[in-house]
């Protein structure tokens, strides 16, 4: 059974064909980095316009690479939300039109469930599967959520960010210091060159639900650190580099970054990792989880992966391969597979929902 997945919730237009929820026959991702990079974040109007331009060629390419005709498909899965409503609408409208034209079942997928299924898909490929109950940490540019995952894909929300998402904190710190967008990969690449214990940041103390996250205090602490110094020449040098080279290498960034700033970045990342892993481990313990799933764009982070390994947790920790960590459509097709098996289809009243919750 082949499912065509379509994802357009933020700044990636993606389509993929996945067979039996396991085999990725194609996964095409058209990134809009070139469009939003210079603004230091995603501009919603520009994102919708880019999706409109990309959706037809991206879907066509995904079908071609998978050597799949529309009539070979069992269903079309599309991201229903959460995300930018104008962006979601492009994928949604296209998926509905396709289903209507060729009489295929339509399956709406929650984007966060997709991120979790990036791991489920790969565990299925390995033939092992994920042991349940699992604790899932979804950390991306828009979300930082902890879910309990029970067999049959039943979810319970255990905690989430009260302000910025983890990826958003990376992006804002990067913007403040003149390192383009998205900030996560740039900072991650520079961290090995700094001392992670040089700047002392305090961990957030949560009143009420201790499994919630908060990154605004850390962001403000970074801002205070920057304001206390004159970094204007350094920041200007980075902005100039970014104007001359759209995606500078770590070596190029190193040439325009002072040792104290490298120490700041390493200390910032160490704090984010402590927040993420600390709360994920506490949540896992609270539900006696048999595995930990870490997904979403921030799951690409090399420091986070190393820290999870070194923590030697008493259950397996799963990360998706980097290509499946950031937004893609294979995870959407994979999440739709159990729904296809159980006949949980949607009809033409399905609509894009910017604030859709998973649990």
Residues binding Zn ion (CB under 5 A)? 140, 327
The pairs formed by 252-259 with CB atoms below 8 angstroms and a separation of 24 or more are: 253/179, 253/186, 253/189, 253/190, 254/190, 254/193, 257/190, 258/231, 258/234, 259/194
Tell me which of Zn ion, ligand KG4, none is bound by residue 81, counting a contact when its beta carbon lies within the kind-specific cut-off of 5 to 8 angstroms: none
d(CA 267, CA 281): 21
Q: Strand ranges (DSSP E) for the chain?
A: 2-7, 12-19, 23-31, 73-81, 106-110, 134-139, 144-150, 154-160, 291-295, 317-318
Residue with Cβ nearer ligand KG4 (214 or 301): 301
Q: Is the peptide bond before 140 cis (omega within 30 degrees of 0)?
A: no
Q: Are 109 and 38 in contact (CB under 8 A)?
A: no
Q: Which is nearer to Zn ion, 9 or 257 (CB)?
A: 9
Q: Which does 215 bind (CB under 5 to 8 A by kind): ligand KG4, Zn ion, none?
A: none
Q: Report the length, in residues, of the chain.
A: 359
**Among 328, 329, 338, which Cα is nearest to 74's?**
338
Task: Provide the minimum distance between the beta carbon of 142 and ligand KG4 in the complex, in angstroms, as a whole number.
Answer: 4
Q: Give the number of residues in contact with ligand KG4, rule: CB under 6 A.
A: 20
Write down the least CB distance from residue 178 to ligand KG4, Å: 15
Sole window of 206-214, 234-242, 274-282, 294-302 interacting with ligand KG4 (rule: CB under 6 A): 294-302
Q: How far is the CB of 274 from ligand KG4 (least distance, A)?
A: 14
Quick note: the x/- pattern for ligand KG4 over 130-159, rule CB under 6 A, is ----------xxx-----------------
- Residue 194 binding partner per list Zn ion, ligand KG4, none, with a CB distance cut-off of 5 to 8 Å that depends on partner kind: none
Using CB under 6 A as the binding rule, whether residue 196 contacts ligand KG4 is answered as no
Which of 159, 124, 113, 143 lies closest to 281 in space, CA to CA? 159
User: What part of residues 19-58 is at the interface with ligand KG4 (CB under 6 A)?
Assistant: none
Q: Closest CB to Zn ion belongs to which residue?
A: 140
Q: Which of ligand KG4, Zn ion, none has residue 298 at its interface (CB below 5 to 8 Å by kind)?
A: ligand KG4
> In sequence order, what are the residues at sequence separation of 6 or more whose Cβ sits closer than 8 angstroms to the Cβ of residue 89?
48, 352
CA dist., res. 51 & res. 8, Å (int): 7
Q: Please report whether residue 185 would count as binding ligand KG4 according to CB under 6 A.
A: yes
In the bound complex, what is the minimum distance in angstroms from residue 115's beta carbon to ligand KG4?
A: 7
Asked if 178 touches ligand KG4 (CB under 6 A), the answer is no
Residue 255, CB-side half-sphere exposure with 13 Å CA sphere: 9
Residue ranges binding ligand KG4 (CB under 6 A): 10, 140-142, 167-168, 170-171, 182-185, 188, 296-298, 300-301, 326-327
């Amino acid at each position: 059974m082949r499912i065509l997945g379509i994802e357009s919730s933020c700044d990636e237009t993606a389509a993929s064909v996945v067979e039996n929820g396991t085999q990725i026959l194609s996964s095409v991702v058209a990134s809009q980095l070139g469009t939003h990079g210079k603004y230091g974040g995603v501009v919603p109007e520009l994102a919708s316009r880019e999706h409109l331009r990309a959706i037809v060629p991206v879907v066509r390419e995904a079908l071609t690479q998978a050597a799949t005709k529309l009539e070979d498909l069992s269903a079309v899965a599309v991201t229903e939300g959460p995300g930018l409503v104008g962006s979601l609408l492009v994928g949604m409208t296209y998926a509905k039109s396709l289903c209507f034209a060729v009489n295929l079942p339509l399956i709406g997928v929650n984007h966060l469930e997709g991120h979790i299924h990036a791991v489920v898909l790969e565990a299925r490929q390995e033939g092992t599967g994920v042991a349940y109950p699992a604790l899932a940490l979804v950390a991306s540019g828009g979300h930082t959520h902890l879910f309990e995952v029970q067999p049959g894909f039943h979810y319970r929300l255990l905690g989430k960010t009260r302000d910025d998402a983890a990826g958003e904190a990376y992006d804002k710190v990067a913007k403040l210091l003149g390192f383009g967008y998205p900030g996560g990969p740039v900072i991650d690449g520079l961290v090995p060159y700094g001392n992670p214990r040089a700047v002392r940041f305090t961990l957030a103390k949560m009143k009420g639900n201790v499994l919630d996250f908060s990154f605004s205090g850390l962001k403000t602490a970074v801002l205070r650190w920057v304001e206390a110094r004159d970094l204007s020449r350094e920041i200007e040098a980075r902005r100039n580099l970014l104007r001359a080279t759209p995606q500078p290498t770590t070596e190029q960034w190193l040439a325009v970054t002072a040792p104290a700033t490298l120490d700041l970045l390493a200390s910032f990342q160490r704090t984010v990792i402590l927040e993420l892993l600390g709360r994920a481990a506490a949540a896992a313990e609270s539900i006696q989880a048999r595995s930990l799933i870490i997904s979403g764009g921030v799951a690409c982070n090399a420091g986070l992966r190393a820290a999870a390994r070194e923590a030697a947790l008493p259950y397996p920790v799963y990360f998706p391969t980097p290509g499946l960590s950031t937004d893609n459509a294979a995870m959407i097709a994979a999440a739709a597979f159990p729904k296809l098996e159980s006949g949980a289809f949607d009809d033409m009243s399905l609509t894009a929902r910017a604030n859709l919750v998973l649990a």
